[in-house]
A and B are shown apart, each in its own frame.
Chain A
Protein backbone atom coordinates (compact mmCIF):
# COMPACT_ATOMS: atom_id res chain seq x y z
CA UNK A 1 0.00 0.00 0.00
CA UNK A 2 2.79 2.45 0.92
CA UNK A 3 4.60 1.40 -2.25
CA UNK A 4 1.46 2.09 -4.26
CA UNK A 5 1.34 5.70 -3.15
CA UNK A 6 4.99 6.10 -4.14
CA UNK A 7 4.32 4.84 -7.68
CA UNK A 8 3.72 8.27 -9.30
CA UNK A 9 6.89 9.68 -7.73
CA UNK A 10 8.93 6.68 -8.85
CA UNK A 11 7.51 6.85 -12.39
CA UNK A 12 8.31 10.53 -12.61
CA UNK A 13 11.86 10.02 -11.30
CA UNK A 14 12.40 7.31 -13.89
CA UNK A 15 11.26 9.52 -16.75
CA UNK A 16 13.29 12.47 -15.41
CA UNK A 17 16.43 10.32 -15.19
CA UNK A 18 16.09 9.20 -18.82
CA UNK A 19 15.55 12.79 -19.93
CA UNK A 20 18.55 14.12 -18.00
CA UNK A 21 20.68 11.41 -19.59
CA UNK A 22 19.44 12.19 -23.08
CA UNK A 23 19.86 15.93 -22.58
CA UNK A 24 23.38 15.99 -21.18
CA UNK A 25 25.06 12.76 -22.23
CA UNK A 26 23.80 12.07 -25.75
CA UNK A 27 24.78 14.13 -28.76
CA UNK A 28 22.02 14.07 -31.39
CA UNK A 29 24.40 15.29 -34.09
CA UNK A 30 26.66 12.29 -33.56
CA UNK A 31 25.15 9.80 -35.99
CA UNK A 32 26.91 6.43 -35.91
CA UNK A 33 28.53 5.62 -39.24
CA UNK A 34 26.95 2.81 -41.20
CA UNK A 35 30.21 2.16 -43.02
CA UNK A 36 32.44 1.20 -40.06
CA UNK A 37 34.65 -1.80 -40.88
CA UNK A 38 33.38 -1.75 -44.46
CA UNK A 39 35.67 -1.10 -47.44
CA UNK A 40 35.80 2.45 -48.79
CA UNK A 41 33.56 3.07 -51.80
CA UNK A 42 35.24 3.29 -55.19
CA UNK A 43 36.11 6.75 -56.45
CA UNK A 44 38.69 8.59 -58.52
CA UNK A 45 39.06 12.35 -58.19
CA UNK A 46 41.19 15.10 -59.68
CA UNK A 47 43.45 16.99 -57.30
CA UNK A 48 42.98 20.54 -56.09
CA UNK A 49 44.96 22.56 -58.70
CA UNK A 50 48.71 22.50 -57.81
CA UNK A 51 48.03 20.30 -54.80
CA UNK A 52 48.21 16.90 -56.44
CA UNK A 53 48.46 14.07 -57.01
CA UNK A 54 44.78 13.12 -57.27
CA UNK A 55 43.00 10.71 -55.00
CA UNK A 56 41.32 7.38 -55.66
CA UNK A 57 40.11 4.45 -53.60
CA UNK A 58 43.24 2.44 -54.41
CA UNK A 59 45.37 5.04 -52.60
CA UNK A 60 43.68 4.06 -49.35
CA UNK A 61 44.89 0.45 -49.61
CA UNK A 62 48.61 1.00 -49.63
CA UNK A 63 49.39 -1.05 -46.55
CA UNK A 64 49.37 1.57 -43.84
CA UNK A 65 46.81 3.47 -41.82
CA UNK A 66 45.78 6.74 -43.46
CA UNK A 67 43.48 9.58 -42.55
CA UNK A 68 40.92 10.80 -45.04
CA UNK A 69 40.01 14.32 -44.04
CA UNK A 70 36.92 15.90 -45.59
CA UNK A 71 37.43 19.65 -45.84
CA UNK A 72 36.25 22.73 -47.71
CA UNK A 73 37.42 26.31 -47.99
CA UNK A 74 33.95 27.52 -46.95
CA UNK A 75 34.01 25.49 -43.73
CA UNK A 76 34.94 27.44 -40.62
CA UNK A 77 35.35 24.40 -38.40
CA UNK A 78 37.92 23.04 -40.89
CA UNK A 79 40.03 26.10 -40.28
CA UNK A 80 39.81 25.39 -36.57
CA UNK A 81 41.12 21.85 -36.91
CA UNK A 82 43.72 22.71 -39.56
CA UNK A 83 46.67 23.35 -37.20
CA UNK A 84 46.16 19.86 -35.76
CA UNK A 85 46.45 18.31 -39.22
CA UNK A 86 49.55 20.40 -39.98
CA UNK A 87 51.13 19.17 -36.78
CA UNK A 88 50.29 15.52 -37.59
CA UNK A 89 51.84 15.93 -41.02
CA UNK A 90 54.96 17.58 -39.57
CA UNK A 91 55.70 14.85 -37.06
CA UNK A 92 54.97 12.24 -39.72
CA UNK A 93 52.86 9.97 -37.53
CA UNK A 94 50.22 9.36 -40.20
CA UNK A 95 49.64 10.20 -43.84
CA UNK A 96 46.64 12.47 -44.48
CA UNK A 97 44.60 12.62 -47.66
CA UNK A 98 42.28 15.54 -48.29
CA UNK A 99 38.81 15.14 -49.74
CA UNK A 100 37.79 18.61 -50.86
CA UNK A 101 34.00 18.64 -50.46
CA UNK A 102 31.78 20.75 -52.73
CA UNK A 103 34.28 23.53 -53.25
CA UNK A 104 35.52 25.72 -56.06
CA UNK A 105 38.97 24.60 -57.28
CA UNK A 106 40.47 28.09 -57.05
CA UNK A 107 39.02 28.72 -53.61
CA UNK A 108 40.36 25.37 -52.36
CA UNK A 109 43.85 26.03 -53.76
CA UNK A 110 43.93 29.50 -52.27
CA UNK A 111 42.79 28.15 -48.91
CA UNK A 112 45.60 25.58 -48.89
CA UNK A 113 48.16 28.22 -49.89
CA UNK A 114 47.04 30.49 -47.08
CA UNK A 115 46.69 27.90 -44.33
CA UNK A 116 49.27 25.29 -45.29
CA UNK A 117 48.89 21.90 -46.95
CA UNK A 118 48.91 18.86 -44.66
CA UNK A 119 47.72 16.48 -47.41
CA UNK A 120 49.94 14.22 -49.45
CA UNK A 121 47.07 13.74 -51.90
CA UNK A 122 43.91 15.72 -52.55
CA UNK A 123 40.72 14.99 -54.45
CA UNK A 124 38.01 17.41 -55.44
CA UNK A 125 34.51 16.12 -54.87
CA UNK A 126 32.80 18.98 -56.64
CA UNK A 127 29.30 17.48 -56.74
CA UNK A 128 29.51 15.91 -53.29
CA UNK A 129 28.72 12.43 -54.60
CA UNK A 130 31.83 10.76 -53.19
CA UNK A 131 30.94 12.40 -49.89
CA UNK A 132 27.47 10.86 -50.01
CA UNK A 133 29.00 7.45 -50.76
CA UNK A 134 31.13 7.88 -47.66
CA UNK A 135 28.08 8.89 -45.62
CA UNK A 136 29.39 12.42 -45.11
CA UNK A 137 26.75 14.79 -43.79
CA UNK A 138 28.85 17.73 -42.68
CA UNK A 139 32.37 19.07 -42.85
CA UNK A 140 34.85 18.42 -41.38
CA UNK A 141 34.75 14.67 -41.02
CA UNK A 142 37.80 12.46 -40.72
CA UNK A 143 37.93 8.78 -41.61
CA UNK A 144 40.61 6.52 -40.19
CA UNK A 145 41.37 3.99 -42.94
CA UNK A 146 42.91 0.59 -42.34
CA UNK A 147 45.94 -0.60 -44.40
CA UNK A 148 43.58 -2.53 -46.70
CA UNK A 149 41.22 0.38 -47.21
CA UNK A 150 38.48 -0.32 -44.68
CA UNK A 151 36.88 2.42 -42.60
CA UNK A 152 38.05 1.92 -39.01
CA UNK A 153 36.55 5.01 -37.44
CA UNK A 154 34.94 8.27 -38.36
CA UNK A 155 35.35 11.49 -36.45
CA UNK A 156 32.52 13.97 -36.93
CA UNK A 157 33.46 17.61 -36.59
CA UNK A 158 36.89 19.05 -35.86
CA UNK A 159 39.42 16.60 -34.42
CA UNK A 160 39.91 17.26 -30.71
CA UNK A 161 42.96 16.35 -28.62
CA UNK A 162 40.82 13.65 -27.07
CA UNK A 163 39.94 12.19 -30.50
CA UNK A 164 43.59 12.27 -31.49
CA UNK A 165 44.88 10.52 -28.40
CA UNK A 166 42.08 8.02 -27.85
CA UNK A 167 40.77 7.24 -31.30
CA UNK A 168 43.28 8.06 -34.03
CA UNK A 169 46.76 7.44 -32.64
CA UNK A 170 45.93 4.08 -30.96
CA UNK A 171 44.61 2.78 -34.31
CA UNK A 172 47.67 4.07 -36.15
CA UNK A 173 49.90 2.34 -33.62
CA UNK A 174 47.94 -0.90 -33.63
CA UNK A 175 47.92 -1.34 -37.39
CA UNK A 176 51.36 -0.04 -38.23
CA UNK A 177 53.19 -2.36 -35.87
Chain B
Protein backbone atom coordinates (compact mmCIF):
# COMPACT_ATOMS: atom_id res chain seq x y z
CA UNK B 1 0.00 0.00 0.00
CA UNK B 2 2.66 2.46 1.11
CA UNK B 3 4.83 1.32 -1.75
CA UNK B 4 2.06 2.08 -4.22
CA UNK B 5 1.56 5.52 -2.71
CA UNK B 6 5.27 6.21 -2.98
CA UNK B 7 5.21 5.14 -6.60
CA UNK B 8 2.31 7.44 -7.41
CA UNK B 9 3.99 10.33 -5.61
CA UNK B 10 7.22 9.74 -7.49
CA UNK B 11 5.46 9.54 -10.83
CA UNK B 12 3.52 12.75 -10.29
CA UNK B 13 6.69 14.55 -9.19
CA UNK B 14 8.48 13.32 -12.29
CA UNK B 15 5.60 14.47 -14.49
CA UNK B 16 5.63 17.90 -12.84
CA UNK B 17 9.38 18.29 -13.35
CA UNK B 18 9.15 17.29 -17.02
CA UNK B 19 6.17 19.58 -17.68
CA UNK B 20 7.79 22.54 -15.93
CA UNK B 21 11.14 22.15 -17.65
CA UNK B 22 9.66 21.91 -21.14
CA UNK B 23 7.50 24.97 -20.62
CA UNK B 24 10.51 26.95 -19.35
CA UNK B 25 12.46 26.06 -22.47
CA UNK B 26 9.61 27.07 -24.72
CA UNK B 27 9.41 30.66 -23.54
CA UNK B 28 12.26 32.05 -25.63
CA UNK B 29 12.01 30.30 -28.97
CA UNK B 30 10.72 33.11 -31.13
CA UNK B 31 11.10 32.89 -34.92
CA UNK B 32 12.11 29.24 -35.08
CA UNK B 33 13.84 28.03 -38.20
CA UNK B 34 11.44 26.18 -40.47
CA UNK B 35 13.70 23.13 -40.68
CA UNK B 36 13.34 21.32 -37.32
CA UNK B 37 16.82 19.76 -37.68
CA UNK B 38 18.49 23.15 -38.09
CA UNK B 39 16.35 24.59 -35.28
CA UNK B 40 17.44 21.79 -32.95
CA UNK B 41 21.09 22.49 -33.77
CA UNK B 42 20.61 26.21 -33.19
CA UNK B 43 19.04 25.55 -29.79
CA UNK B 44 21.83 23.21 -28.71
CA UNK B 45 24.43 25.84 -29.64
CA UNK B 46 22.45 28.63 -27.95
CA UNK B 47 22.33 26.60 -24.73
CA UNK B 48 26.14 26.68 -24.62
CA UNK B 49 26.46 30.44 -25.20
CA UNK B 50 26.71 32.69 -22.16
CA UNK B 51 24.40 35.66 -22.00
CA UNK B 52 26.75 38.61 -21.47
CA UNK B 53 24.15 40.57 -19.57
CA UNK B 54 22.91 37.89 -17.15
CA UNK B 55 26.20 36.13 -16.87
CA UNK B 56 25.23 32.76 -15.46
CA UNK B 57 22.45 32.14 -17.92
CA UNK B 58 22.76 30.84 -21.42
CA UNK B 59 21.28 32.97 -24.19
CA UNK B 60 18.59 30.31 -24.40
CA UNK B 61 17.49 31.01 -20.81
CA UNK B 62 17.83 34.77 -20.77
CA UNK B 63 15.26 37.31 -21.85
CA UNK B 64 17.82 40.11 -22.13
CA UNK B 65 17.67 42.04 -25.38
CA UNK B 66 21.20 41.08 -26.34
CA UNK B 67 20.42 37.40 -25.71
CA UNK B 68 17.48 37.71 -28.09
CA UNK B 69 19.73 39.25 -30.75
CA UNK B 70 22.34 36.55 -30.27
CA UNK B 71 19.72 33.79 -30.55
CA UNK B 72 18.60 35.34 -33.84
CA UNK B 73 22.23 35.55 -34.92
CA UNK B 74 22.88 31.87 -34.14
CA UNK B 75 19.81 30.89 -36.17
CA UNK B 76 20.93 33.13 -39.03
CA UNK B 77 24.41 31.59 -39.15
CA UNK B 78 22.96 28.07 -39.03
CA UNK B 79 20.54 28.96 -41.83
CA UNK B 80 23.45 30.34 -43.84
CA UNK B 81 25.08 26.92 -43.65
CA UNK B 82 27.73 27.43 -40.95
CA UNK B 83 28.89 24.41 -38.97
CA UNK B 84 28.35 24.36 -35.19
CA UNK B 85 32.00 25.23 -34.59
CA UNK B 86 31.83 28.09 -37.10
CA UNK B 87 28.93 29.62 -35.21
CA UNK B 88 30.75 29.33 -31.88
CA UNK B 89 33.93 30.75 -33.39
CA UNK B 90 31.93 33.66 -34.83
CA UNK B 91 30.83 34.59 -31.31
CA UNK B 92 34.23 33.88 -29.73
CA UNK B 93 35.84 36.26 -32.27
CA UNK B 94 33.62 39.04 -30.95
CA UNK B 95 33.19 38.28 -27.28
CA UNK B 96 36.09 35.99 -26.41
CA UNK B 97 36.15 32.51 -24.85
CA UNK B 98 34.09 34.05 -22.07
CA UNK B 99 30.99 33.70 -24.24
CA UNK B 100 31.22 29.90 -24.09
CA UNK B 101 29.71 28.37 -20.95
CA UNK B 102 32.16 25.48 -21.32
CA UNK B 103 35.62 27.05 -21.37
CA UNK B 104 37.93 25.42 -23.95
CA UNK B 105 41.01 23.55 -22.73
CA UNK B 106 43.98 25.89 -23.23
CA UNK B 107 47.18 26.72 -21.39
CA UNK B 108 45.35 29.57 -19.65
CA UNK B 109 42.49 27.34 -18.53
CA UNK B 110 44.61 24.27 -17.76
CA UNK B 111 44.53 24.90 -14.01
CA UNK B 112 40.78 25.26 -14.15
CA UNK B 113 40.36 21.84 -15.74
CA UNK B 114 43.15 19.93 -14.01
CA UNK B 115 42.87 21.74 -10.65
CA UNK B 116 40.19 19.48 -9.14
CA UNK B 117 42.15 16.39 -10.16
CA UNK B 118 45.30 17.81 -8.54
CA UNK B 119 43.37 18.54 -5.34
CA UNK B 120 41.96 15.01 -5.40
CA UNK B 121 45.39 13.42 -5.86
CA UNK B 122 46.97 15.68 -3.23
CA UNK B 123 44.18 14.95 -0.77
CA UNK B 124 44.43 11.23 -1.43
CA UNK B 125 48.16 11.29 -0.82
CA UNK B 126 47.75 13.25 2.43
CA UNK B 127 45.09 10.79 3.54
CA UNK B 128 47.35 7.85 2.72
CA UNK B 129 50.19 9.34 4.78
CA UNK B 130 47.87 10.12 7.68
CA UNK B 131 46.33 6.66 7.80
CA UNK B 132 49.70 4.91 7.54
CA UNK B 133 51.10 6.92 10.43
CA UNK B 134 48.06 6.11 12.57
CA UNK B 135 48.39 2.42 11.79
CA UNK B 136 52.05 2.47 12.78
CA UNK B 137 51.37 3.91 16.23
CA UNK B 138 48.57 1.37 16.70
CA UNK B 139 51.02 -1.43 15.83
CA UNK B 140 53.34 -0.34 18.63
CA UNK B 141 50.67 -0.34 21.34
CA UNK B 142 49.19 -3.70 20.36
CA UNK B 143 52.19 -5.78 21.47
CA UNK B 144 53.56 -4.40 24.74
CA UNK B 145 56.19 -6.21 26.78
CA UNK B 146 54.71 -9.06 28.86
CA UNK B 147 54.39 -8.32 32.61
CA UNK B 148 57.20 -9.44 34.85
CA UNK B 149 56.41 -11.86 37.72
CA UNK B 150 56.50 -9.08 40.29
CA UNK B 151 54.17 -6.89 38.27
CA UNK B 152 51.74 -9.77 37.78
CA UNK B 153 51.63 -10.42 41.54
CA UNK B 154 50.95 -6.74 42.18
CA UNK B 155 48.14 -6.71 39.61
CA UNK B 156 46.49 -9.78 41.16
CA UNK B 157 46.69 -8.26 44.63
CA UNK B 158 45.06 -5.02 43.45
CA UNK B 159 42.29 -6.86 41.60
CA UNK B 160 41.33 -9.09 44.56
CA UNK B 161 41.48 -6.06 46.89
CA UNK B 162 39.06 -4.09 44.74
CA UNK B 163 36.78 -7.13 44.39
CA UNK B 164 36.47 -7.45 48.17
CA UNK B 165 35.85 -3.73 48.49
CA UNK B 166 32.95 -3.76 46.05
CA UNK B 167 31.39 -6.80 47.74
CA UNK B 168 31.34 -5.26 51.19
- Interface size (A, Cβ < 8 Å)? 17
Q: Does chain A have a CB within 8 A of B36?
A: no
Q: Does chain A have a CB within 8 A of B38?
A: no
Q: Is the CB of B69 within 8 A of A132?
A: yes
Residues of A within 8 A of B69 (CB): 127-129, 132
- Indicate the member of B55, B69, B94 with the most A CB atoms within 10 Å: B94
How far, in angstroms, from A119 to B67 measured CA to CA in the complex? Answer: 29
Q: Is the CB of A34 within 8 A of B65?
A: no
Chain A, range 106-141, C-beta contacts under 8 Å to B: 127-129, 132-135, 137-138
Are A32 and B94 also in contact (CB < 8 A) when A128-B69, A132-B73, A137-B66 are? Answer: no
Q: Does chain B have a CB within 8 A of A167?
A: no
Q: Is the CB of A34 within 8 A of B92?
A: yes
Residues of A within 8 A of B52 (CB): 31, 137-138
Q: Is the CB of A133 within 8 A of B94?
A: yes
Residues of B within 8 A of A31 (CB): 52, 95-96, 98
How far, in angstroms, from A32 to B98 measured CA to CA in the complex? Answer: 9
Q: Is the CB of A34 within 8 A of B70?
A: no
Main secondary structure of the interface of B (DSSP, over half): helix
A-B interface pairs (CB < 8 A), number: 38
Q: Is the CB of A138 within 8 A of B96?
A: no
Q: Which of A34, A102, A129 contacts B95 (CB 8 A)?
A: A34
Q: Does chain A have a CB within 8 A of B93?
A: yes
Nearest B residue to A35, CB-CB? B94
Q: Is the CB of A34 within 8 A of B94?
A: yes
How far, in angstroms, from A29 to B98 measured CA to CA in the complex? Answer: 11
Are A132 and B94 also in contact (CB < 8 A) when A102-B65, A137-B66 are? Answer: yes
How far, in angstroms, from A137 to B95 measured CA to CA in the complex? Answer: 9
How far, in angstroms, from A64 to B63 measured CA to CA in the complex? Answer: 40
Q: Does chain A have a CB within 8 A of B44?
A: no
Residues of A within 8 A of B96 (CB): 31-34, 135
Q: Is the CB of B73 within 8 A of A137?
A: no
Chain A, range 126-167, C-beta contacts under 8 Å to B: 127-129, 132-135, 137-138
Nearest B residue to A33, CB-CB? B96
Chain B, range 86-102, C-beta contacts under 8 Å to A: 92-96, 98
B122 to chain A, nearest CB (A): 11
Q: Is the CB of A137 within 8 A of B53?
A: yes
Nearest A residue to B95, CB-CB? A135
How far, in angstroms, from A33 to B66 measured CA to CA in the complex? Answer: 16
Q: Does chain B have a CB within 8 A of A92?
A: no
How far, in angstroms, from A5 to B6 measured CA to CA in the complex? Answer: 47
Residues of B within 8 A of A35 (CB): 94
How far, in angstroms, from A33 to B96 measured CA to CA in the complex? Answer: 7
10 closest A-B pairs (Cβ-Cβ)? A137-B52, A34-B96, A135-B94, A128-B69, A135-B95, A31-B98, A137-B66, A34-B95, A132-B94, A133-B94
Residues of B with Cβ closer than 8 Å to A? 52-53, 55, 65-66, 69-70, 73, 92-96, 98
Residues of A with Cβ closer than 8 Å to B? 28-29, 31-35, 102, 127-129, 132-135, 137-138
8 contacts between A and B (CB under 8 A): A29-B55, A34-B94, A34-B95, A35-B94, A128-B65, A128-B69, A129-B69, A132-B94
